[in-house]
Structure 1
Amino acid sequence: MSPTPIRITVGELVARFLEACGVQAAFGVISIHNMPILDAFHRRQQLRFVSARGEAGACNMADAYARVSGTLGVCVTSTGTGCGNAAGAMVEAITAGTPLLHLTGQIESPFLDRDLGYIHEHPAQLAMLKSVGKDAFRIRNPETALATLREAVRLAFTPPCGPVSIEIPIDVQKMEMDLPADLAPLAVPPVQPDLAAVDVLAERLLKAQRPLLWLGGGARGAVAAVDRFVKMGFAIVTSVQGRGIVAEDHPQTLGSYNLQKPSEQFYETVDAMLAVGTRLRSNETLNYRLKLPATRYRIDANALADGRGYTNEFFLSGDAQLTLDALADRLEGRMKIDPQLTRDVQSARAESATLVDGTLGPYVKLKNTLAEVAGKHIWWVRDITLSNSMWGNRAPVLDHPRAGVHALGGGIGQGLAMGVGAAIANTEHGLGRKTLSLCGDGGFMLNVGELACAAQEQADVVFIVMNDQRYGVIKNIQDDIYGSRHAYVELHTPDFAQLCASLKVKHLALADPAHSKAVLTEALAASGPVVVEVDMAAWGPFAAKFAGPPKKKD
């Protein structure tokens, strides 16, 4: 006699499937259109649900959680307006290539797609979700629920990775079904390189005496293989998304000082550049006018990356770790690398860092003190703010391929929520690092409600809020292009000390560069959320004006 099957709802199937995927935390906002799912989370108590104050923040949290943990990010939203609130954060996730599952509700099935003006319905929700992610699906009945969940997660992890949405009508979430015997997600095999093509690339690289690896976010899983190239003597430079694949204090790396003039001069001496898992993005190549080495090769899991941004003499499609390992097998012991190469890297790095420091004025004290006090054992989260553009994208030194989390798509206001997501990932996965989030006052206020979420969750994160009471970059652009007509950039900001006190969040004022070490040391020693407010009016201006992404001057 066969055992009586266990009956579960589709909402509980979602919870059990996420557990089978190894998800330990999810983020979202509870609503009447996702309660069967969240009720299952609550009853099972197998994963932590973080109640964000808005869907945009929840999705940014899930994004950062995935980037830091290396696992699936999960965001749960309501239907209609609630789902739409997450759209901007979805764009950030697809820009960054983050594997993320967005679960959203939908109205009752009998009323769907009938243009009835039904409350909470977004008549083109699925089309909207397809436009801001890799794909979007609707679960129409219990029989197809598991297959849809599996396919969505498979797509999210298939290079180029990105967010995938599933909408589940509220009546379907409540429907019952037999518990499947197997809830395992589908395997996502890595893209295997063509070994004959690896042979060709190896023969070309053997001719190089001053080779350079440019590493992007797609190479974050290839630390071990990259280390073999470092040991062979290759020089290294990274995109901002590739920071920490090689520890940035290693003598053979430029870190992400990838577009400064000394680095460009160094590129002229390189006889072969191998770009791995990078899009060579516009703001890291002076709008594609940065003079890169004349001989360029490329490895990417995405076959469509061939020739994008910059031409290449040879392209090889494959997983970064597998392809670099196969290449190293053919190169180790055979390369004849110029012994001067490492010294030239060190010189270019030092000159580039000096140039950057020269633009900072008093804020070089903040940069250097932060590096001294925090060290390398951190998650370094950044919003799009003046300080990040000027120094945060290159300092402090990072030594982990997932240590850098930033708003890659250029949207402001995402750093606060990302800091929470990174801190939750650190706690839930036992990663043992401190989370720091660099924010501007304008961006911080955009999602300031998530500071309440940080307090409720006791997220262990230090927010460094650079308060100049304005959109600093925009004001500089107005000075540079619009005759100093300062329109709509001055901001009314709260008394952050009082705001933090009302939320029971620790607040530390930093009005004097001389107090940087004491204040940052106290902040890092505290547990739970801490806001360090840097009074930029008291500190004074930067030594140079940053007016948007740098471009090549004719």
Structure 2
Amino acid sequence: MTNETNSPSLRSISCAEALVRLLRDSYAVDTVFGIPGVHTVPLYRGLESGGLRHVTPRHEQGAGFMADGYARASGNPGVCFIITGPGMTNIATAMGQALADSVPMLVISSVNRRDTLGRGQGQLHELPSQQNVLAGVSRFSHTLLDPSALPEVLARAFAVFRSQRPGPVHIEIPIDLFDAPISLPTEYAPARLYRPAPHPDGVALAAEWLREAHAPLVLLGGGCADASKSARALVEHLDAPTVTTTNAKGVLGRGHPLDLGANATWPEVRALARDADVILAVGTELGETDYDVVFDEGFTLTGRLIRIDLEAEQLVRNQATALGLVSDAGIALSALLAHFPAPLARQGAKRTRAIHEALALPTRPDMATFVPLYAALDHALPEAIIVGDSTAPVYAGNHLVKRAAPRRYFNASTGYGTLGYGLPAALGAQLAKPGTPVVALVGDGGLMFTLSELATAVDEELPVVIVAWNNSGYEEIRRYMDAHGVARIGVDPTPPDFQRLAEGFGLTSQRIESPAALDLALSNVSRNAPTLIEIDAERWQAALG
């Protein structure tokens, strides 16, 4: 019998070293986010010679948001190494945001020794069941009990990322297994995986309905981010007005004549949706943060709804589906396009233009304040990736912003809706796209949630431009309280002196009060180091008259 550890095709190494090797060589991972702790030190022995870049945030939530931003900007999973117990509860919020927005994230954590699991002995960082805690914010959570199963468990994780609806995956490794030997082939090639294709009969029926439609409408979600070319071609052949959600910005390019933008919440677009006789929804949950941000359940579809999604269950959520296809968006769109050899003529561009004229978004009081902000960004940094927190400029930007390509605008106002996302997610995006300008658009309240990540930006020399809208507290909640007759309580926290803080962190910074000053500041930002630009919201609005 052959001793496999001495076989020329196998090599025995520690579980921790095997993990790093598999991530690097088999799954092309190049960056890991994490804060070392006593329970994860063996991972760092594997990392030392592993050829991976390690980025140290100042909080595990920051690690998760960085991984999220990295994944959204690149399309590749963000990877984290996280300590047992408090590290995992800290990152849970970031995992919840990634789960809600279908963002691929791999969270590798330690967990207590196998012989202590579930025994309540008061071990360091002990939870009754860490796996159960994280199962609710992940596609799956797995406890590795046999080191030889590591390649299979990683393969499962990347199968989620590559072949089905993505989201966070959590793999926890007991601390007594990190140094356990595992035999790996000298060359390990993971399975080649392909996403599902739609049933041809379903495609044919969908094409028939779309061809016969008198008032078609297309809804494109974040699932179309990698299907730009086929989405644009099909929309043009259908000549149909198209809603592109916040996470689908740029899928049709900048200023496409059929693009209604992420404006499904406005009455004019709702009327168009209600009157559509056939609706094609691709890669979208049809959830309220994309279609009902006034939260009155007023977005209704009465026509035949055709849905395309990677997840079968998603086909029947939120709206009544007439025809559902489980498929990758790009494959399905290309298959549908084959049924339309010549473009149809339905005055789609005219109908779209009429909606935009009726909306007149730049003149609306809640939008007009931020029109010059985005004009300055487009002028100074036209190709920038804009990463937002939950803050007033971002809420407006969801309706105003146009991007030339997908994956260049995303924020935390969709899905889970957490605060503190913008800064660390922008750092992750900058690491994923080092040659592309990245802007973090944050409010003073949200910035305080993850302010410590300014230190990470300085340490890693990431030239992110941080634009902070300082309205001295939680302005959106203040307005909500006012509208509902509730006294303003808890919404007026005093912001710090951000200029002095920036100086303490070693950042270049300035405080500006007008659109002209913002344009000048953005035109002179460093391309080698982070910059903080603080906008005095009250003076800005006064400057606009």
TM bucket (normalised to shorter chain) is over 0.9
1:547 alignment partner in structure 2: none
2:121 alignment partner in structure 1: 116
2:426 partner letter: G
1:527 alignment partner in structure 2: 528
For 1:437 and 1:212, locate their aligned partners in 2 and report how far apart those are by CA, in whole Å: 33
Q: Does 1:41 align with 2:47?
A: yes
From 484, 500, 503, the counterpart of 2:505:
503
2:309 alignment partner in structure 1: 300
1:336 alignment partner in structure 2: 344
1:191 alignment partner in structure 2: 196
Query: Deviation at 1:212?
Result: 2.4
Query: Deviation at 1:94?
Result: 0.4
1:150 alignment partner in structure 2: 155
Query: Deviation at 1:395?
Result: 3.2
For 2:345 and 2:312, locate their aligned partners in 1 and report how far apart those are by CA, in whole Å: 30
For 2:372 and 2:227, locate their aligned partners in 1 and report how far apart those are by CA, in whole Å: 34
From 283, 286, 290, the counterpart of 1:277:
283
For 1:305 and 1:361, locate their aligned partners in 2 and report how far apart those are by CA, in whole Å: 36
The structure-2 alpha-carbon separation of the partners of 1:204 and 1:58, relative to structure 1 and needing over 3 Å to count, comes to same
Q: State the SS of the aligned residue for 2:79.
A: strand
Q: State the SS of the aligned residue for 2:185.
A: coil
The structure-2 alpha-carbon separation of the partners of 1:187 and 1:541, relative to structure 1 and needing over 3 Å to count, comes to farther
2:137 alignment partner in structure 1: 132
Deviation string 1:73-116 (CA, Å, 9 cap, x unpaired) is: 10111001111111111100100101111000112233222211
1:439 alignment partner in structure 2: 442
1:366 alignment partner in structure 2: 373
Query: Quick check: 1:380–1:405 contact (8 Å CA) kept in 2?
Result: yes
For 1:52 and 1:262, locate their aligned partners in 2 and report how far apart those are by CA, in whole Å: 44
Query: Deviation at 1:209?
Result: 4.2
Deviation string 1:443-473 (CA, Å, 9 cap, x unpaired) is: 1011111111111011121111011110111
Q: Which stretch shifts more, 75-84 or 299-308?
A: 299-308
For 1:157 and 1:302, locate their aligned partners in 2 and report how far apart those are by CA, in whole Å: 13
The structure-2 alpha-carbon separation of the partners of 1:37 and 1:183, relative to structure 1 and needing over 3 Å to count, comes to farther
Query: Quick check: 1:81–1:122 contact (8 Å CA) kept in 2?
Result: no
Q: Which stretch shifts more, 170-179 or 153-162?
A: 153-162
For 2:363 and 2:185, locate their aligned partners in 1 and report how far apart those are by CA, in whole Å: 57
2:169 alignment partner in structure 1: 164
The structure-2 alpha-carbon separation of the partners of 1:176 and 1:221, relative to structure 1 and needing over 3 Å to count, comes to same
2:3 alignment partner in structure 1: none
Aligned residues: 532
The structure-2 alpha-carbon separation of the partners of 1:200 and 1:68, relative to structure 1 and needing over 3 Å to count, comes to same
Alignment of 1:42-441 (within 5 A): 42-44=48-50, 46-232=51-237, 233-267=239-273, 270-286=276-292, 287=295, 288-292=297-301, 294-333=303-342, 336-338=344-346, 340-354=347-361, 357-375=364-382, 377-389=383-395, 391-407=396-412, 408=414, 409-427=416-434, 432-441=435-444
For 1:226 and 1:4, locate their aligned partners in 2 and report how far apart those are by CA, in whole Å: 45
Deviation string 1:210-253 (CA, Å, 9 cap, x unpaired) is: 43221001122221211221331333211111111111311121
Q: Does 1:15 align with 2:23?
A: no
1:550 alignment partner in structure 2: none
Provide the aligned C-alpha RMSD in A: 2.1
Q: State the SS of the aligned residue for 1:74.
A: strand
1:146 partner letter: P
The structure-2 alpha-carbon separation of the partners of 1:119 and 1:253, relative to structure 1 and needing over 3 Å to count, comes to same
Query: Deviation at 1:2?
Result: 5.1
2:453 partner letter: E
The structure-2 alpha-carbon separation of the partners of 1:317 and 1:3, relative to structure 1 and needing over 3 Å to count, comes to closer
**Unaligned residue ranges in structure 1 (runs of 5+):** 544-554
Alignment of 1:509-520 (within 5 A): 509-520=511-522
Q: Percent identity?
A: 29
The structure-2 alpha-carbon separation of the partners of 1:353 and 1:225, relative to structure 1 and needing over 3 Å to count, comes to same
1:41 partner letter: L
Q: State the SS of the aligned residue for 2:259.
A: coil
**Unaligned residue ranges in structure 2 (runs of 5+):** 1-5
Q: TM-score, normalised to structure 2's length?
A: 0.93
1:480 alignment partner in structure 2: 483
Q: State the SS of the aligned residue for 1:174.
A: coil
The structure-2 alpha-carbon separation of the partners of 1:109 and 1:296, relative to structure 1 and needing over 3 Å to count, comes to closer
